[in-house]
Amino acid sequence: MTEQVLRTLMRTTDVIVAGVFSPAAVAAVGLADIYARLPLWFGLGVGDGAIALSSQDTGSGATANRDEAVSTALTLGVLAGIPFAAFGLLFDQVAISVLGAEREVVLIGASYLAIILLSSPARHVTLIAARSIQGTGDTRTPMYVNLAANALNIGLTVGLAFGVAGLPEYGVVGIAIATAVADVLAALTFLLVLASERTPITLVQPSDLVIAKQLVLISAPRIAEGLSEVVAQFPFNAILLAFGTEVNAAYHIGMRLYQQIAAPLSRGYGVAANVLVGQALGRGEAETAYYDGLATTALGAITVGGLGAVLFFQAEAFVSLFTRDPVTIGYAADFARAYAVATVLIAPYAILAGSLRGGSETRSPFVAKVTGTFVFLLGMTYVGGVWLEYGVVAAYVAIVADYLWRDLVLGGVYYRRNWIERGTRMMRERGSLDTAGDE
């Protein structure tokens, strides 16, 4: 959670700094971030596959299989990052303009996007390495590395955007440069950590096709889950842009507030549940795995929901940190309140999804997100906001409805426990239940 707080603070700083320049700068960073989520979700997807296999094989003692899985995941991440970098260099302006943004927003967003995507291979290494190490039960080492990288990122963002501390002044482009530099340094640090005795993981040359296949099977739905969210963000942002640039900027501010205040806990609980459930299954303790997931979900709903209450009642005060534009402030406060109401639903979704991934079940979170995003977030906003002419109010309601549906879907899947058999079967297929202590 500590790691996630500072990572989110880094992104929040980006929006705050952009807000100093103009609402157009905020919209530009927000729109560019939609594309930046493409490599992010790929890294998270492969990383979740790595953490599932790492935690299960750590629990069963199949350390050779764990090393093979981690090495395969890192190789895949580096190779997959290259096309994203090329896209950013070749199609930066087209990518922003296709969303219907104003000319000023396109110019700012394109420069930001090109630099952000250039560091995609490094971002993948960071995401995958961190989750692989977390799967062994060590969540401190990734925290130390990411805390240092994100602190550097925040400092460089302020320095390069405004030209302080003797640094050149690059404006919004400086924000992107800071992120790219921090990502590269973090990736190099993680590779050094994995090559040292700091972690029990040993990097090897990938050669096991069964493990590679399982890694893809677990990662693919998670990647598709993230990509579906990104795809939906294009028409969703287009609808909000039709309501006005201020409305679009307000959405990114409101979402950023939720992501800063409540999301780090949800993500932290989700990772913890993934590790606890995966290691319990590796030890052959199915009932413990099931209980750990439920207990973490209850704890998350209570604590994250409490933070949501703070966000709801202090929305305007928080929003004023991002912009001085009175129109944007009004809409942003309402978006923040919508996310505040949804926090008690978002936490169980993130934790149940993490628990299921610990059992190698990534298909149901994909189904829950796709149906929730397209039917409720996008569909309800379009029908209610455009057809029925309720405007942006429909988006507020859609945010809450989206996560309510996701909880219902995942709750039913978790209760039926089929994911326990899936995780156990996949461990048998790669020999992890028969090779305890293979080092």
The pLDDT mean for the chain works out to 91
Residue spans of the domains in the chain: they are 2-429
Output the pLDDT for position 124.
96
Output the pLDDT for position 13.
85
Distances (CA, A) of 194 to 92, 137, 200, 403: 34, 15, 8, 37
Which H/E stretch holds residue 263? helix 263-282
Report the pLDDT averaged over residues 279-300: 95
Report the pLDDT averaged over residues 250-268: 86
Output the pLDDT for position 438.
41
Q: Is the pLDDT of residue 27 over 50?
A: yes
3-state helix, strand, coil in the chain (%, to 5): 85, 0, 15
| Burial class of residue 415 (count of CB atoms within 10 Å of its CB; 0-12, 13-18, 19+) | exposed
Whole-angstrom distance, CA of residue 263 vs CA of residue 266:
5
Report the pLDDT averaged over residues 260-268: 87
Whole-angstrom distance, CA of residue 115 vs CA of residue 179:
9
Dihedral of CA atoms 37, 42, 44, 45 in degrees, nearest 10, equals: 140
Report the pLDDT averaged over residues 168-174: 90
For 99-157, write each residue's pLDDT tens digit. 777 878 888 888 899 999 999 999 999 999 999 999 999 999 999 999 999 999 999 99
What residue type is assigned to position 403 of the chain?
Y
Which of 324 and 409 is assigned the larger pLDDT?
Answer: 409
What residue type is assigned to position 79 of the chain?
L
Output the pLDDT for position 436.
42
Residue 230, phi then psi, degrees to nearest 5: -65, -45
For 56-80, write each residue's pLDDT tens digit. 999 999 999 999 999 999 999 999 9
Q: Is the pLDDT of residue 252 over 80?
A: yes
What is the percent of the chain with per-residue pLDDT over 90, rounded to a whole number? 66
Binning pLDDT at 50, 70 and 90, where does residue 434 land? low
Least confident of 10-14, 185-189, 396-400, 412-416: 10-14
